[in-house]
Amino acid sequence: MIEKNKQKITTAGTCAGCPIGLVARTVLNATDNPIAVTNATGCMEVTTTIYPNTSWRVPYIHSVFGNAGATISGMETAYKALFKKGKIKEKKPVKFVAFGGDGGTYDIGLQALSGALERQHDFLYVCYDNGAYMNTGNQRSGATPFGASTETTPAGKESFGKDVERKDLMSIVAAHHIGYVATANIGFLDDFETKVKKAFATKGPSFILVFSPCPNQWKHAAHKTIEIAKLGTDTNFWPLYEIINGGYKINYEPKNKAKIEEFLMTQSRFKHIFKSKGKNERIKDIQNKVDEEWERVKDLEETGVKV
C-alpha cells in the first residue's frame, strides 16, 4: 500500500525555520504499519501539495478547512468495510492520521473532530499549534494566547492585542472520554515520538497537540525555532503531559523554570507588552495565568481525578 522505508514525506514550500516537516516525519516514522492521511487546509497542506507536485508518499486526502474529522471517519469506516469483505488484506492494520492546524482544529474543524471522537473511530488526530491562522496572514484563532498581536487583534492605541484566554482544547477533547490525549513539542522530539507510538497503540481515537512556533508570523529568526519551542515548555507556557483513560500524567517538569517574559520577548507578537505603561502588571498577570494552569494539571495528576 505504501513504501516501507522511512522519510515518508519531504517538505517543499515551507517558510525557513518552519517545523511542519518535523511534525509530519515524527508521526509517519513512528510506525511500520501502513498509514493513510487526511490533511485539513492549512500551512501543512498548502506547502506540501503544490500542484502538480506532492511531498507525501502515503495515501493522502486533502480535506477542506472544517472537515478533517469527518474525512478521517469516512476513511477508517471504508477500510473496515473493505477489510470485512476481504477486498483489503494488509498484514498489518492501517493507521489513520488526520493533521490540522489550530485554526482548522480549535475553531473551524471542532464540530467534525468532536463527532469523530464521540463515535470512537480508530484514528490519530495531530494538531500543529502555532497560535493563529498563519497560512492566511496571522488572524487570531481560538489557540491565540492572551496578549498576542495578530492581524485581527492588533496591538495599538485602540487595542491591547488578544484580550481573552486561549481555548482549553485539551480539556474539550478529553471530555469525549477517549483513551489517549497528549501535548507535545517539536523541541522535545523523543517525547513526541513516544507519544505518537502510544497513540497508535491505543484502540479508538487519540489526539496529540503539538507546539509549533511560526517564525514567519511570530517574527523570530528562523534558526531560533527549536530554542523558542523548548523555552515554551521550560517556562510552563506549554507543559508536556498525557491524559490516559482520563488520568493526567506530567512528562516533563523544568528543573530551573524560566520566567514567562523570557519566552514572550523572543517574539514580535508580544513586543507591545514590553512597551506598555503597565508592562510589569501585564507580565505578572500572564505569569500568574501560566502558573495557575500548571498547578491545575499538577493537582489533577496528584489527586488522580479523572476527566
Q: Domains of the chain (ranges plus CATH)? A: 20-303 (3.40.50.970)
Cα separation, 290 vs 235, whole angstroms: 8
CB 231 within 8 A of CB 262: yes
Within the chain, which residues score under 50 in pLDDT? 1-5
DSSP of 25-70: HHHHTT-SS-EEEEEESSHHHHHH--TT---B-S-EEEE-TT-HHH
Q: What are the residues whose beta carbons fall under 8 Å from the beta carbon of 149, sequence distance 6 or more?
A: 155, 161, 162, 268, 269, 270, 271, 272
The upper half-sphere exposure of residue 210, i.e. CA atoms within 13 Å in the direction of its Cβ, equals 30
φ/ψ of 270, rounded to 5, equals: -115, 5
Across the chain, the runs of DSSP E, i.e. the strands, are 35-40, 60-63, 95-101, 124-129, 180-185, 206-211, 241-244, 247-250
CB 61 within 8 A of CB 160: no
Per-residue pLDDT, 1: 35
What global pTM score does this model have? Answer: 0.95
φ/ψ of 272, rounded to 5, equals: -65, -25
The secondary structure element, H or E, covering residue 174 is: helix 169-174
Which three three-digit cell numbers place residue 305? 481525578
CB 263 within 8 A of CB 235: yes
Per-residue pLDDT, 8: 64
Per-residue pLDDT, 51: 86
| Sign of torsion over alpha carbons 192, 110, 167, 143 | positive
Indicate the pairing of strand 60-63 with strand 124-129. unpaired
| Sign of torsion over alpha carbons 68, 73, 79, 82 | negative
3-state DSSP call for residue 146?
A: coil
Per-residue pLDDT, 11: 55
CB 187 within 8 A of CB 226: yes
Per-residue pLDDT, 157: 86
